[in-house]
C-alpha cells in the first residue's frame, strides 16, 4: 500500500520497499528498514499496464500529474486500509461460494515463500524478500516446505567415478630412496623435515 512509482525499477526488475501505511499513517516497512525485492517479468508487465492506465486516467480527469502511489484511490490519494480489507472480504465471500477456501490476504505472502523454497531458493534469499531480520525465523516458519531428498548422497562420494576408491598398496615394502640408499624410513623422514620444513609423520603412538 505504501508503494510509489519511484520505488519500481523496471530496468533492473526490482522493487524497493521503503514505507508502509498503517491506520492512515506512513511508517517504516517490516523490520524497520528498506529492502529490495525481486520483480518477476509477469509482475513487471502488469505494473507497466497499470502505469499506462494511470496516465489515461490523468488525462481524462485533468490531473496535473500521475499519482505517485502505485495503488491509489479514485481521487489519486493513498488507499485506506479499511477499504482494502472490505474489498478482500467481498472477494473471499464470492470465492467461498465456488468452493474456494477463504484465505487472508496475508496468505499470498506465505504462498510466495513456500513456492520459492520448494523451487530451491536459499533461506537467506527468502528472508531478504520477506523482510525478516534473522533467517532463523524464516527457517522455523517454513522448514516444512524445504525439499529433502534422502536418496541423493552424491555430496559424500569422493571416488570420482564408479568403482572402489583408490587405496594405498597392500604391500608394506618401502621402495629404496635413490638419493639416500640404505637409509631407514625414520632417517628418510628426517631428511624430508630438513629439506622441506614438513613435520614427519608419527611412526608409533605406543605407550
Cα atoms in the 13 Å half-sphere on the side-chain side of 131 = 17
Claim to verify: residue 2 and residue 45 sit in the same structural domain: yes
Regarding whether 99 and 4 lie in a shared domain, the answer is: yes
Residues 52 and 149 in one domain: no
Which of 68, 84, 103 lies at the terminal end of a domain, its last residue? 103
Q: Of 59, 77, 103, which one is at a domain's C-terminal end?
A: 103
Domain for residue 18, yes or no?
yes
22-75 pLDDT, tens digit per residue, is 888 889 887 788 999 999 999 999 999 999 999 999 999 999 999 999 999 989
Confidence at residue 23, expressed as pLDDT on a 0 to 100 scale: 85
Which range marks the domain in which residue 53 is found? 1-103
Q: What is the pLDDT at residue 177?
A: 55
Exposed/middle/buried for residue 82 (C-beta within 10 Å: 0-12, 13-18, 19+): exposed
The string of DSSP letters for 93-160 reads HHHHHTTPPP--TTHHHHHHHHHHHHTT--HHHHHHHHT-S-HHHHHHHHGGGS---TT--GGG--SS
Residues 85 and 136 in one domain: no
In the predicted model, residues of the chain with pLDDT beneath 50 are: 191-205, 207
Q: Check residue 200 and give its pLDDT.
A: 45
Q: Are residues 111 and 83 in the same domain?
A: no
Straight-line distance from the first to the last Cα atom of the chain, in angstroms, rounded to the nearest whole number: 75
SS3 content of the chain, % helix, strand, coil (to 5): 45, 10, 45
pLDDT confidence of residue 207: 43
Residue in 128, 105, 106 with CA at minimum distance from that of residue 116: 128
92 and 113 in one domain?
no
Counting every residue, how long is the chain? 207
Report the number of distinct structural domains present in the chain: 2
Amino acid at each position: 500500500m505504501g508503494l510509489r512509482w519511484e520505488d519500481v525499477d523496471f530496468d533492473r526488475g526490482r522493487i524497493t520497499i521503503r514505507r508502509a501505511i498503517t491506520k492512515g499513517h506512513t511508517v517504516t516497512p517490516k523490520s524497520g528498514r528498506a529492502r529490495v525485492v525481486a520483480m518477476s517479468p509477469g509482475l513487471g508487465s502488469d505494473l507497466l499496464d497499470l502505469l499506462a492506465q494511470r496516465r489515461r486516467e490523468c488525462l481524462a480527469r485533468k490531473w496535473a500529474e500521475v499519482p505517485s502511489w502505485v495503488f491509489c484511490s479514485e481521487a489519486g490519494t493513498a488507499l485506506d486500509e479499511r477499504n482494502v480489507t472490505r474489498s478482500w472480504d467481498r472477494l473471499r465471500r464470492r470465492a467461498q461460494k465456488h468452493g474456494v477456501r477463504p484465505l487472508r490476504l496475508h496468505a499470498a505472502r506465505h504462498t510466495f515463500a513456500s513456492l520459492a523454497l520448494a523451487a530451491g531458493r536459499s533461506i537467506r534469499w527468502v528472508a531478504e524478500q520477506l523482510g525478516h531480520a534473522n533467517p532463523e525465523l524464516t527457517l522455523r516458519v517454513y522448514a516444512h516446505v524445504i525439499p529433502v531428498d534422502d536418496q541423493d548422497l552424491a555430496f559424500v562420494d569422493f571416488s570420482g567415478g564408479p568403482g572402489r576408491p583408490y587405496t594405498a598398496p597392500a604391500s608394506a615394502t618401502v621402495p629404496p630412496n635413490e638419493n639416500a640408499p640404505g637409509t631407514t624410513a625414520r632417517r628418510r623422514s628426517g631428511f624430508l623435515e630438513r629439506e622441506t620444513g614438513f613435520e614427519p609423520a608419527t611412526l608409533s603412538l605406543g605407550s
